[in-house]
Amino acid sequence: MHFLSEDLEEYIEQHSENEPELLAQLNKETYQKILLPRMLSGRFQGRVLSMLSKLIRPINILEIGTYTGYSALCLCEGIQENGILHTIDIKEELVDFQRKYFDKSRWGKQIFQHLGEAVNIIPTLNLKFDLVFIDADKENYINYFNLILPKMNKGGIILSDNVLWSGKVVEPVDVNDLSTKVLLEYNKILKNDVRIETVLLPIRDGLTVSRVL
């Protein structure tokens, strides 16, 4: 679903920061070789992630849902010199693709890939995070949030992607549509949890910014 007209979306992109060349290459190769390329964060959202990371200046970043590595590289643009990004995905076939682009960037040695279920991997990460980006299976968003919150530094930021779910959050919900049901509950949790403050941005498919109090 396009929440803005294509003309307005193009205007917004034209008047936002340019996409770095490495990310343009990654974008192009993803569309050429990888299934479901629409899962890519894309140029505009990528610049939003980059800007937020630069404002936060995180040391430890966690990403849940790597896909081809585009958003991870955007988040690394604001990372401190001694910082680390941990990224988790279940697709073994994408690991080498991700690593190729990670190693082409200046942050290759700061990016650690984890293969497997995030609900199992997150508890093994003995770190406090400054920035987390959730962009994986929607059915587990609440589980991810509950696992992540105790591992956040005060003032840390949790970003949640796809929270508008192509507009399904304001439409009648199919009885078998578990993803939409979970997202509706998740959005309520983010709004009402007194441990965070939240703003939902109508960027792409919805991006929630939650600050840990």
CA distance 136 to 157: 17
Element (H, E) at 50: helix 43-56
Residue pair 31/39 in contact by the 8 Å Cβ criterion: no
Residue 39 has pLDDT above 80, yes or no: no
What is the tens place of the pLDDT at every residue in 171-204? 999 999 999 999 999 999 999 999 999 999 998 8
Residue pair 195/149 in contact by the 8 Å Cβ criterion: yes
Q: What confidence category does residue 1 fall into, taking pLDDT thresholds of 50, 70 and 90? A: low
What is the tens place of the pLDDT at every residue in 113-137? 999 999 999 999 999 999 999 999 9
CA distance 1 to 66: 23
Q: What confidence category does residue 9 fall into, taking pLDDT thresholds of 50, 70 and 90? A: confident
pLDDT of residue 4: 80
Q: What is the DSSP string of 66-124?
A: -TTSHHHHHHHTT--TT-EEEEEES-GGGHHHHHHHHHHSTTGGGEEEEES-HHHHGGG
Arithmetic mean of pLDDT over the chain: 95
pLDDT of residue 170: 94
pLDDT of residue 2: 65
Mean pLDDT value of segment 50-60: 98
What is the tens place of the pLDDT at every residue in 81-116? 999 999 999 999 999 999 999 999 999 999 999 999
